[in-house]
Amino acid sequence: MKIPLSAPDITDAEIEAVTAVLRTPSLSRGRHLVEFEAALAARVGAPHAVGVSSGTAALHLAIRACGIAAGDEVITTPFSFIATANALLYERAVPVFVDIDPITLNIDPDRIEAAITPRTRAILVVHVFGRPAPMEPILDIARRHHLLVIEDACEALGAEIAGRAAGTLGVCGIFSFYPNKQMTTGEGGMIVTADPAIAALCRSLRNHGRDDEADGMTYHRLGYNYRLGELAAAIGVVQLARLSTMLPRRQAVAEAYGARLAGHADLVCPPPDTPGSRTSWFAYVVRLSDAFGRSDRDAVAAGLVEAGIGCGRYFPPLHLQPHVAVATGKKKGDFPQTEAAADRTLALPFSDRLSEHDMAGVCGALLRLTAERRAYSSPR
C-alpha cells in the first residue's frame, strides 16, 4: 500500500526503551509493567490498572472477574469488533444484541430496557471508533435494574464523557494497544477499575491463577497466560507519555478529512461530538449515502485498494458472524440499523502521521470512485 490503513507512531524513544529492557535479565513481570499500569491509571483517573496481553484478554478477564457465567445474558451492540461477542462466549454467557443509533453508530439506549430479562447480568458498552456512548441513560438503566456496566473502551483511550475518561464510568473498563490504536505496545491491553477485588482477581487470572507472586507454585483458580511482557510495557510507558501530543494530531487529521469531504451528497461523515463528550479518534469512518448498497461500498473499497490506498469495511454485524448466529439464534434483518450501517461504512487511512498530500490523494480517489459508482448505479 502506498497509503496504509493505519501506521503506529514509533520514535527513537520507544526503540531505546526496548533496547534498554533487552540489556536486562527481566523480560517479563518486571518494573516496566508496574510503571505502565501506574501511569495508565493516573492518565484515566482509575485507582487500579491491570496490564494484559491484548484488549481481548482484558475483556475476557473483566467479564470473568465480574462473575458473568454460563447462561447469563449481557446486553451489547452488534456493531463492534468480534472480540466483544467472543469474550462473552468464552464464558458461555449469552450476548443479547441491541440495535444502534444510526448517527453515532453506538448502542441505542432507548432500546436497552426492552431487552432486559431476569437472566440479564450486565450491559457491555462499546465506545465505537472512539466516540463515547451515551453513558448517562445507560448507567441510569443499569442502576434501576441492578446491572453491571462494563466499558469496552478498546478504541477510545483519551475519550471523555462529562469530564471523565471513557472506561472509568462502569465497574471496569478495557483498553487495547494494538498497532492501529491511539497508542500501541505492539500487542497489549489494560483493565481499569475502582474495585480492588476485581483488580486483584484479574492479576491472578492473567498469571495462571496465582494469588501470591512470591509463591509461584500455588494456583488458587483456573487462570490464563495473559501476561504483558516487559518489552511491550516499556513501549507503553513511552507511548503514554507521548499521548498528549499524538491525540491532538489525530484530531487534526479527522478535522482535515471532514473539511475535505463535507458537503458531498454521496458521503456521510462522522457527526460532531455531543455536548459534554469528546471523541478520541481511533479511525475515520465514512458511510456511503442511502442511495448506495453493499456492492457499491465494496466496489469503492476495491478501487481504493487498486489505487494503493488501504481501507477497512468496519464492522461486519456480529449477529451475522456464523458462530455468533448459532449461539444467539439471530439472523439477517434482526438489527436493521446495524446492517444498514455495516453495508455502507468505509474506514479511510488514518494515523497521526498522515500527511496533507496523502489525505488529498485519499479524498480525491474516494470522491472519484463514489461518483463513478453513482453513475454506474443510476437508471439508464
Q: What DSSP letter does each residue of 126-170 carry, written as one string?
A: E-GGGPPP-HHHHHHHHHHHT-EEEEE-TT-TT-EETTEETTSSS
Distance CA 311, CA 314 (A): 9
- In 3D space, the residue among 169, 187, 194, 223 whose CA is nearest the CA of residue 51 turns out to be 187
Give the ranges where 207-355 is alpha helix by DSSP (H): 230-261, 294-306, 322-328, 336-342
Supply φ then ψ for residue 64, to 5 degrees.
-65, -45
Contact 224, 64 (CB under 8 A): no
Q: How far apart are the first and last CA of the chain?
A: 35
Q: Is 10 left (phi over 0), alpha (psi -120 to 50) or beta?
A: beta
Which triple of cell numbers denotes residue 194? 475502582
Distance CA 168, CA 348 (A): 29
Which triple of cell numbers denotes residue 175? 483498553
Beta strands 48-52; 189-193: pairing state:
antiparallel
Kindly name the residue from 181, 330, 331, 332 that is annotated as catalytic. Answer: 181
Distance CA 52, CA 61 (A): 9
181 counts as catalytic: yes
Distance CA 81, CA 78 (A): 9
Contact 185, 163 (CB under 8 A): no
Q: Which helix (DSSP H) or strand (DSSP E) does residue 267 occupy?
A: strand 267-268
Which residues, 6+ apart, have CB-to-CB distance to 17 below 8 Å?
Answer: 234, 235, 237, 238
Is 322 exposed, middle or buried, given 0-12, 13-18 or 19+ CB atoms closer than 10 A? exposed
| Residues with catalytic roles | 181
